[in-house]
Amino acid sequence: MWIVLIATMVVSLFVSAGHTFPAASTLIVLVAFTKVWLIGNYFMELNRAPKVLQCAFGAYVVVTCATLVLAFYRW
């Protein structure tokens, strides 16, 4: 799991340093919320929690990420 987190950090680092394409901010937010989901599920062990808590956390991640991405394109 550490390898995946390091890979997502490297992706966000390269994208944020270059800003070579218009959707860079969207990609950075998606990578950040992927890291949030990975840390919540595996390092905070929500994957062993009751299904209701897993679904609530997943919904929180998706709704918050979608809100931020839509906010980027609305302004």
pLDDT, one tens digit per residue, over 18-66 is 766 667 788 888 989 999 999 999 999 999 999 999 999 999 999 999 9
pLDDT at 26: 85
pTM recorded for the entire structure: 0.80
CA 66 vs. chain centroid, Å, equals 10
Q: CA nearest 35: which of 60, 7, 55?
A: 7
- How far is it, in rounded angstroms, from Cα 10 to Cα 43? 20
